A = this chain, B = another copy of it.
Amino acid sequence: MGRTYMDCDTKKQIILRTATKHFANAGFDGARVDEIAAEAGVNKAMLYYRVGNKEALYEEIFVETIGGVLSQIEKEIRDEDSPEQQLTKFATVFAGSLNNNPFIAPLILREVASGGTHMNDQAIFKMNQIRTLLATILKKGEKKNVFRPSNPLLIHILLIGTLNFYSASASIRNKLSENVNKKVNREEDKKDFILPISVVATEVVNLVLNSIRINN
């Protein structure tokens, strides 16, 4: 019956969602299969039956997570947009993803920190597609003579690194801000710590545009 299929899909989705949270919060080694199964409301053996093992579970959620970001960006960027518009969208859509799903940034940061230990080919492929997408935008701008030549990787890291770091650092920034406000009780300082990520995205992309844009 369709119902059974739907139930299955749903259950799998719940497992993946729960696993994403645990892997993001605790890392691959810190996450506990028991806890994931319990929180997802499925029997542990069932989880293995459906997913394979911890490694496979991780790979699945990682690809899914990165894939989500990629498809979001691809969906929003139109061919008819100007390179400048496309670059801006790249940053803001990425930031939007991080904002909607707070587990993306920790997952990426941990994976980067570990040198991609747990990334499979699919994950590498999708990460690369994101990078390629940005490079294409920049090349297109160069061709249209609206962007100066630039190092795409540098700009990629600038955007992705900054936004991921900002997104993931929310709770550390909280700690730091508490630490600050104990001593100096300036309201302005406190405000600086709670900048929305959309603003960060805009600022960073403007910085980049100011640098590579060719004005006439």
A residues lining the B interface (CB < 8 Å): 24-30, 105-107, 109-116, 119, 124-125, 127-128, 131, 151-154, 157-158, 160-166, 168-173, 175-176, 179-180, 192-193, 195, 200, 203-204, 206-208, 210-211
Q: B113 to A168, Cβ gap below 8 A?
A: yes
Q: B179 to A124, Cβ gap below 8 A?
A: yes
Residue among B29, B161, B173, B179 making CB contact with A30, cutoff 8 Å:
B29
Residue among B109, B131, B166, B179 making CB contact with A125, cutoff 8 Å:
B179
Q: B172 to A128, Cβ gap below 8 A?
A: no
- CA A176 – CA B119 in complex, angstroms? 11
What is the distance, in angstroms, from A85's C-beta to the closest C-beta of chain B?
Answer: 20
The interface residues of chain B lying within 8 Å CB-to-CB of A161 are 161-166, 169
Main secondary structure of the interface of A (DSSP, over half): helix
Copies of the polypeptide in the assembly: 4
| A-B contact list, 25 entries, CB within 8 Å | A24-B113, A26-B29, A27-B110, A29-B29, A30-B114, A105-B113, A106-B112, A107-B113, A109-B109, A109-B110, A111-B172, A112-B168, A112-B169, A115-B168, A125-B179, A128-B176, A128-B180, A131-B176, A154-B192, A157-B162, A157-B169, A157-B200, A161-B164, A161-B169, A162-B162
